[in-house]
Structure 1
């Protein structure tokens, strides 16, 4: 039986977006659009100087593996980005329970994250 306090897929996605959003902010990107809905891409449209960029964000939880990008999705969003002369970045955030990575994330309990930054596609 699932714990009713486990984070939902949307909550995990929002957590990953917060991590990536803070990184974008620290790098001096200006936010043009933010979309936190699941399966709606890209999550961020940002600009730095005159260069627009699209950013895809994925929350990755055990047992799913990091660095397992959806090539079809990346190609689709890259084609869309090219119409706007925009760069495309992929940002995955590995999330896990702080005490045991095999446990689900639960509201109010500590968690760990693995974020290696933006990957230009």
Structure 2
């Protein structure tokens, strides 16, 4: 069985979030899919700048939970550019058995509820 690497999980999450952003009218200015390089998406919508942080989260972790201190650091950086900051947690699990890792050979389940704005 070929288990997905951290980078492959991240790329999968990026694709899911990217499609959602596109569907919701965001225009991509910059995309960075390298792990630990933030933000992953710099977008324009309604002539405003948006920074989006994407995180792949493997079951049993909750994709809605994020590192508050880290996100505040990103938000402080975004404010210098008059940008809004968002967190996009994408939960991933093996479809046949949640306790097995996500692999290339098996189906997976996605738990993603859209972007969460980080504000004061």
**TM-score, normalized by the shorter chain, greater than 0.5:** yes
Q: The residue matched to 1:73 in structure 2 has which SS?
A: helix
Superposition RMSD in Å: 1.0
* Residues 20-79 of structure 1: CA deviation (Å, up to 9, x unaligned): 000000011100000001111000000012111000000000232332211121011000
**Counterparts of residues 19-58 of structure 1 (less than 5 Å):** 19-58=16-55
After superposition, the Cα gap between the structure-2 partners of 1:49 and 1:65, relative to the gap in structure 1 and judged at 3 Å, is closer
* Residues 80-117 of structure 1: CA deviation (Å, up to 9, x unaligned): 10000000010000000011111101113110001000
**Counterpart in the other structure of 1:76:** 73
1:62 aligns with 2:56: no
**How many pairs does the alignment contain?**
118
Q: The residue matched to 2:34 in structure 1 has which SS?
A: coil
**Counterpart in the other structure of 2:104:** 107
TM, length-normalised to structure 1: 0.94
TM, length-normalised to structure 2: 0.94
Unaligned runs of 5+ in 1: none
